[in-house]
Amino acid sequence: MNDEKFMKIAIDLSKKADFPYGAIVVKDGKVIGRSDAKTKITKSIFDHAEMIAIEDALEGKSLYGGLKGCTLYSSCEPCMMCLENILYSEIDKIVYGVDIPFSSIYYHHIEDFSVLDLVKKIKPDLQIIGGLLKDEALKVIMDHNDKIKKEDEKFIDVAIDLSSKSFYPFGAIVVRNGQIIGKSSDKVPIKETIYTHAELIAIESAVNNIKDYLSRGNLHECTLYTSCEPCMMCSEAILAEGISRVVYAATIEDSNNYFIHEYPVSLEEIVKRSNCQIKIIPELHRDKAIKVFKERQK
Ligand SMILES: [Zn+2]
Ligand SMILES: [Zn+2]
């Protein structure tokens, strides 16, 4: 079946992508747009697989009605942003694998609800086939999740190791695309300032390291790994710089029990009140971070 053949291509692309999603646009049995066409297109934080495939297929033509007679194959149900462009482009048919609620376990946030029924009301003649090869597409997402878990374990250890070597037993790093782009200092502070928290130093060094400097929100798609749950001051910096994920080891309570007093306002509570979609992985390798606190107590 042709749909299956093309869906396999979309799934293959999802395996090779930075994020585990792939999409193609097909016209008259030919692939005319692919989600791995990123190099041809200006990189953007909005470059979802479907958006790249659509832009690639348009080849500079106007979006409006530009893809009449085309089918979009996507390894995952398209999000609202992509659906808007699917409608503008007047694509005839969408075939996708995994439903959105399954993919929403990912740190780069996708809403965990479907709006396809609303789209269907607006455009009743749009054909939608969901769940095609969904197990294969989901496996790519699960494998990606495992990879992220392993990466989290590796990088939280780097932050904890930094905490063991630092003047105060706290360490933090900022990671983007598997690269450490900012880290807290293991040097004795020249003078005591109120900014010496590990997270602030790591965030500041990451912002200084990246070239596309904005005034705020520089650190999209970045993960902050910190040996201890961030305080309110550091949470402000996390929100302001648009960090997408935070992985921490010890809790503020642990810091209070074993080392130094901190005010117990949790990042989880702060994020709940904000409009930010920050994924938080708490208490990863917490015991290792507590061990560092205990050693300093001696
Ligand atoms: Zn999307
Ligand atoms: Zn702090």
Question: pTM, whole model, 2 decimals?
Answer: 0.75
Indicate if the pLDDT at residue 98 is higher than 80: yes
The values of phi and psi at residue 240, to 5°, are: -65, -35
Q: Which bound ligand lies closest to the C-alpha atom of 77?
A: 1
* Spatial separation of the C-alpha atoms in residues 55 and 216, rounded to whole Å: 28
Task: Mark whether 199 is an active-site residue.
Answer: no
Cα 37 to ligand 1 centre (Å)? 16
Ligand 2 center–CA 193 separation, angstroms: 12
In this predicted structure, the answer to whether residue 270 has a pLDDT above a threshold of 70 is: yes
Q: Supply the pLDDT for residue 107.
A: 45
Indicate the pLDDT class of residue 215, thresholds 50, 70 and 90.
low
- Summarised one tens digit per residue, pLDDT across range 160-174 is 999 999 988 999 999
Ligand nearest to the CA of 48: 1
pLDDT band at 195 (very low <50, low <70, confident <90, very high): confident
Q: What is the mean pLDDT of residues 204-222?
A: 80
R_g over Cα of the chain = 22
Instruction: Note the pLDDT tens digit of each residue in 150-162.
Output: 999 999 999 999 9
87, 77, 96, 6: which is closest to 54 by C-alpha?
Answer: 87
Distance 108 CA to ligand 2 centre (A): 24
Q: 46 by DSSP, 3-state: which?
A: coil
Measure 51 CA to ligand 1 centroid, in angstroms.
Answer: 7
